[in-house]
Homo-oligomer: A and B are copies of this chain.
Amino acid sequence: MTDAAASLIALDWGTTAQRAWLLDGDGGILATRRPELGLLPTTAGLDVRDADARARAYETAFWSACGEWVTAHPELPVLACGMVGSAQGWAEAGYLTAPAELRFGSGALTRVEHRGGAAHLVPGLRTPSQHGRPGDVIRGEETQIVGALEALGSPAEAVTLVLPGTHGKWVRVDGGKVVSFATAMSGELFGLLTTGGILARTAAGARRDDAAFARGLAADRSRGLSTELFGARPLVLDGLLDPASVPDYVSGVLIADEVGHLAPTVGAGPVVLCGTEDLCRRYAAALAAHDIVPTVLTEDVAARGLWRIALSTGLLGSSGRNGS
């Protein structure tokens, strides 16, 4: 049994992982879990076009992550953001269209059933493709943005939020409104390159090596990412890079390329970094090379955002807590 003051089960359910929180009556964190059942492992081997099969897989994954909490507190509402609300998710939860204020009112959430009751999904945020040029989509970071803006005191000034992850987001907010954003899939490239292919084979073991990360960060970018990434291999063959340090070198090359392209697009106002401690450290180092000193927020802003959305949608509120 967890704290009797438990008030909300909140999940940030992304492409590769989940973070789940049990929140108290003020949105404070009572307990945290980090199950590994993101969208990709949850739907592995499924025909994602089969909505019923998908729903069963997500229900099982949800129960594996939060079943104990639901059993202990069957009356609690459940709110989830992230890829769980995508076309390959538990159910398609729709989108807001940017530019947009991130106001989620009653009716904004999409309800799905599980064996212990219901869960509610937060919509994403999109910019439409235009004239054949790709737009962009956000799933989960809209909730981090809600939490981050609250943590920043709802700034009226323009601010850039950098949210690194599997599909990292660079989000421009002005006057409380998301005006534009870009997605960089450096995190996914890192995962693919360090688990499959020649660099994964070149690496032997993996050991944190901040100096190797800094070397990757400083690598010449003029010949392009595809060429610079391969540089890890000759460095190892020439005895100049420890095979165990290949992942950190690759991380440096990827992040330097992302930040090198996107930092010049950042407009006036502060830059705010929000993510895991490790990723924030890496991106802060890359931003420093562009004379940007970011404000750093913890990734728990997602829990704060889920709390805010639970309140604004009426999932929690004066009508009591049986919001499911």
Contacts and interface: CB of A to CB of B under 8 A. Distances in A.
B258 A226 contact: yes
A115 interface: no
A304 interface: no
B134 A219 contact: yes
A153 interface: no
Contact of A258 (B224, B233, B258): B224
A226 B189 contact: yes
A166 to B, nearest CB: 8
B129 A234 contact: yes
Number of copies: 2
Interface in A210-242: 215, 219-220, 222-227, 229-235, 237-238, 240
A198 interface: yes
Contacts of A87: 237
Contact of A234 (B136, B186, B215, B238): B136
Given A257-B224, A258-B227, A238 B129 contact: yes
B183 A188 contact: no
A201 B40 contact: yes
A129 B240 contact: yes
A17 interface: no
Interface in A226-268: 226-227, 229-235, 237-238, 240, 254, 257-258, 260-262, 265
Contacts of A20: none
Contact of A134 (B48, B189, B232): B232
A70 interface: no
A226 B192 contact: no
Given A129-B235, A198-B167, A234-B135, A183 B227 contact: yes
Given A224-B262, A262-B223, A240 B132 contact: yes
A197 interface: yes
Nearest to A191: B197
B224 A261 contact: yes
8 contacts: A15-B198, A126-B237, A132-B215, A185-B229, A185-B230, A192-B196, A224-B260, A225-B257
Given A184-B224, A225-B225, 9 more contacts: A40-B198, A133-B220, A184-B223, A184-B226, A188-B198, A224-B225, A224-B262, A225-B257, A226-B254
Interface of A: 15, 39-40, 43, 48-49, 87-88, 126-129, 132-137, 166-167, 182-186, 188-189, 191-193, 196-198, 201, 204, 215, 219-220, 222-227, 229-235, 237-238, 240, 254, 257-258, 260-262, 265
The 3 closest A-B pairs by CB, nearest first: A224-B261, A134-B231, A192-B192
